[in-house]
Structure 1
Amino acid sequence: MVARSPGVRVLPNAITVLAMCAGLSAVQFALSGNFAAAIAAIAVAAVLDSLDGRIARLLDATSKMGAELDSLADAISFGVAPALVLYVWRFEGNRLGWVVALVFAVCIILRLARFNTLLDDTEQPLYAKEFFVGVPAPAGGLLLLLPLILRVQIGRDGWWSTGPVVAVWTVAIAALLISRIPTLSLKTIRVPARAVAPLLVLVGLLAAAVITYPWVALASALIIYLLHIPYAVRRSHWLANHPEAWDVPPRERRAIRRAHGVGRRLGLRPPMRKVAGAARRAVSVARRNGNGHRGGAVLLPTDSNRVRRSVLRGRGWRRTGLRRNQARPSRGDQ
């Protein structure tokens, strides 16, 4: 067995320390009035945070110390640093603003504590690894700075940068951090082989957009991230109701969705045109056999039962919206 070198063990932790230094540097940039550099420092911390864990798993250098260090670095880089940057920019000297900044920092720490406890939870369903519980810390730290990003891009203050709006925005992001709302985890997304080349082209275009229009690209990415939350909630709800799709590839999941159809996902039944047509044919058979109307009701002959059975077998009792051998429940049973 080949022993792993100490350098390999240190590399992921060194990246984590760099991310923490970038987050702390954002506070220093804010104190000197360079808010563009403060935003860039927190964005760099987010990029480094996404790399340290992957590199640790790739090099088989994961450790308990690395996990604890990563949580502490996230608390500083995406909790304390963004809160202080926002306080220096908009709430300096305002006691209520300081309370709002404290609320955000506390929610980040609570979110990280819950994340660490969920790592040891062995009773979660298989699909749970595809989602985060609440907004992750790096996304939350950047979302908090969205009003400041708009201020830097536009170059002047507006309704988005007023004190009350920024305070409400801060509390809303803090609530998303500690909420139970599912958000997608990029760690489990797999790209088909035929989509690799177009994806690399898209990455190149995104890199060019970030270099040319950095604040517009960052603000657009954050807004798209917020807009994806309803989709994540819907997908999580669908997976919770379809255990057969938990451990199958994406292509088979799409087949399961198509098999259930839009109407079934929404709890609706298809139109009853086919059933009405079958009933009309049965009535015409009864009239041809000479049974007409008796007392306002149509009496179907015995042969009409065979007609109904053949219609159900031919067209599929599931597609016609009927339940086989089950009586329809009354209002009191529903």
Structure 2
Amino acid sequence: MSAVRNNPGVRFLPNAITVLAMCAGLSAVQFALSNQIQGAIAAVGVAAVLDGLDGRIARLLDATTKMGAELDSLSDAMSFGVAPALTLYVWQLQGNRIGWVVSLVFAVCMILRLARFNTLLDDTEQPIFTKEFFVGVPAPAAGLLALLPLVVTARIGHDGWWSAQPVVMVWIMAIAALAVSRVPTLSLKTVKVPASTVAPLLVLVGLLAAGIIVYPLVFLAVALTLYLVHIPYAVYRHTWLANHPEAWEAPPRERRAIRRRTQRRLGLRPPLRRSVAGAARRVRLPRRNGHPDGTSRRSWRRIGLRRSRR
């Protein structure tokens, strides 16, 4: 592996992919200036894909360098901070001074988010479970989320309330706030795929690829919406792990067992009804002072009456 690391061509490959990602992101501005909306969206999407590949290829080839890390941060700032801000400004906010301020705020927030990410890489005092989460929305996701009004417009083919200037400005500010916030979001870097699920996942990847080719804008809008929906679950999972140190290094199956034990300890028990053939079976309790056939026998003494004697 040391021979591979010392090969200059191997070290060049991840950095070349990073530069391509930056060029793809900045090309989105050129597409926006040419009024090619779908081209602008595709350029940022290609930049996001390349950004996810360069770091993994560098770790796979053991070719990570300090220069590569700095270049990756600069590429993310350009592709997912400057490019989406300028694209949205050219598309809908051009000529609006407040819109230009909003675009600047978004770009600044993205750069601050990347700077904080770099500082957290050197922080060795963080708990073990924090490697499963990002602090705030990562840069590629934030850049694509900011373009969601543009994606909807390109798919429908005309403007609507989602593309009005006030809505677009509020949306940009909301995504910028999520990027610099400390809201935890899930990271896919630590996900382990069992060997038994490799084949079904490959089939799913093929179906997704076919859907993206046929309906790219629909799949992109759905994916971005699902990403927003997952944030409350990520917050819940982060809070639960912070309160259960015994589950930090446990595999997923053991974590589920710990969660079930915790629910029993809190008194959260399943309902007493049992399901029989898909229906709920009711358990009928015998009546007090009743006969086996379900009829009750009157107790004259309990109601204070005496039976008449004849």
Aligning the two structures, in what range does the TM-score lie when normalised by the shorter sequence? 0.7 to 0.9
Residue number in structure 2 paired with 1:17: 19
How many residues are aligned here?
269
Residue number in structure 1 paired with 2:40: 38
Distance 1:137 1:43 in 2: 12
Distance 1:18 1:79 in 2: 16
Unaligned ranges ≥5, structure 1? 272-334
Distance 1:8 1:157 in 2: 47
Report the aligned-residue RMSD: 1.5
Unaligned ranges ≥5, structure 2? 271-310
Residue number in structure 1 paired with 2:152: 150
What does 1:262-301 correspond to in 2, within 5 Å? 264=266
Output the amino acid matched with 1:245. A
Q: Is the 2:24–2:47 contact (alpha carbons within 8 Å) kept by the matching residues of 1?
A: yes
Identity %: 74
Q: Is the 1:87–1:101 contact (alpha carbons within 8 Å) kept by the matching residues of 2?
A: yes
Task: Compute the displacement of 1:119 (Å).
Answer: 0.2
**CA distances 1:139-162 after superposition (whole Å, capped 9, x unpaired):** 000000000000000001111111
Residue number in structure 1 paired with 2:3: 2
Residue number in structure 2 paired with 1:173: 175
Pick one of 107, 115, 119 that aligns with 1:117: 119
Q: Is the 1:263–1:270 contact (alpha carbons within 8 Å) kept by the matching residues of 2?
A: no
What does 1:290-329 correspond to in 2, within 5 Å? none
Residue number in structure 1 paired with 2:134: 132
Q: Is the 1:16–1:49 contact (alpha carbons within 8 Å) kept by the matching residues of 2?
A: yes
Pick one of 184, 187, 194 that aligns with 2:186: 184
Distance 1:186 1:241 in 2: 22
Task: Compute the displacement of 1:261 (Å).
Answer: 1.8
Pick one of 218, 233, 236 that aligns with 1:234: 236
Distance 1:228 1:192 in 2: 22
Distance 1:248 1:12 in 2: 33
Distance 1:261 1:219 in 2: 36
Distance 1:202 1:9 in 2: 33
Output the amino acid matched with 1:63. T
SS at match of 2:3: coil
Residue number in structure 1 paired with 2:199: 197
TM-score, normalization: structure 2? 0.84
Task: Compute the displacement of 1:191 (Å).
Answer: 1.5
Task: Compute the displacement of 1:2 (Å).
Answer: 2.9
Residue number in structure 1 paired with 2:104: 102
